[in-house]
């Protein structure tokens, strides 16, 4: 039972990568077949150029996932490397979002035509929003590290009841006769 977690990670990554490649193959074949067979009249060089350029990020992401997520097995059958977690939060999660959105745009463009590729503009907008919210969250978090203001008053400028009691106690403690 040694390396049980690593073996589970390797099995999960293999399953996810195989499923991802099959879905991608099916979607891209659907686009090409639909454009060549059903919508042959509207199938132009611009159609395939847009398809190639706007599908490129999905292909790059799939190759990246393949590189970092595929388990490495030694010649003797022993697991050398289980691969990175493909369900991790952060950049990996964002890359899955881009992959899914690209697939959606590919299907939509296959059915409705080239104007559906305008839906891909959501990816840079989403990236900008994600970067802005992440940066905003960091600056708010950093502001909390600066500490409270030196006057230590309540939110409306008047001391709270607790602050009044503490001040009264300190005055009583240091009264000299």
**Per-residue pLDDT tens digits of the chain, which is 177 residues long:** 458 888 888 889 899 999 999 999 999 999 999 988 887 777 788 888 888 998 999 999 999 999 998 888 888 888 888 888 888 888 888 899 899 999 998 999 888 888 888 888 888 888 888 778 877 766 666 655 555 554 444 456 788 888 888 887 777 665 555
Q: What local confidence, expressed as pLDDT, does residue 154 receive?
A: 47
Q: What local confidence, expressed as pLDDT, does residue 43 receive?
A: 74
Give per-residue pLDDT as tens, 91-116: 888 899 899 999 998 999 888 888 88
- Dist CA 137 CA 60 (whole Å): 29
pTM of the model: 0.68
SS3 per-residue string spanning the chain: CCCHHHHHHHHHHHHHHHHHHHHHHHHHHHHHHHHHHHCCCCCCHHHHHHHHHHHHHHHHHHHHHHHHHCCEECCCCCEEECCCCCCCCCHHHHHHHHHHHHHHHHHHHHHHCHHHHHHHHHHHHHHHHHHHHHHHHHHHHHHHHCCCCCCCCCCCCCCCHHHHHHHHHHHHHCCCC
Contacts of 21 (CB under 8 A, 6+ apart): 62, 66
């Amino acid at each position: 039972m040694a390396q049980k977690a690593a073996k589970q990670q390797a099995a999960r990554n293999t399953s996810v990568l195989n499923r991802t490649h099959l879905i991608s193959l099916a979607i891209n074949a659907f686009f090409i077949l639909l454009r060549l067979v059903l919508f042959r009249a509207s199938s132009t060089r611009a159609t395939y150029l847009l398809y190639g350029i706007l599908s490129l990020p999905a292909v790059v992401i799939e190759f990246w996932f393949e590189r970092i997520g595929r388990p490495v097995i030694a010649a003797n059958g022993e697991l050398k490397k289980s691969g990175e977690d493909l369900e991790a939060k952060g950049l990996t999660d964002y890359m899955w979002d881009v992959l899914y959105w690209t697939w959606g745009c590919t299907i939509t463009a296959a059915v409705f035509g080239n104007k559906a590729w305008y839906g891909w503009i959501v990816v840079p907008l989403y990236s900008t929003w994600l970067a802005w919210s992440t940066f905003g969250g960091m600056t708010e978090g950093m502001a909390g590290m600066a500490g409270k203001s030196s006057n230590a008053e309540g939110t409306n400028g008047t001391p709270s009841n607790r602050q009044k009691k503490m001040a009264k106690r300190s005055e009583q403690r240091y009264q000299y006769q």
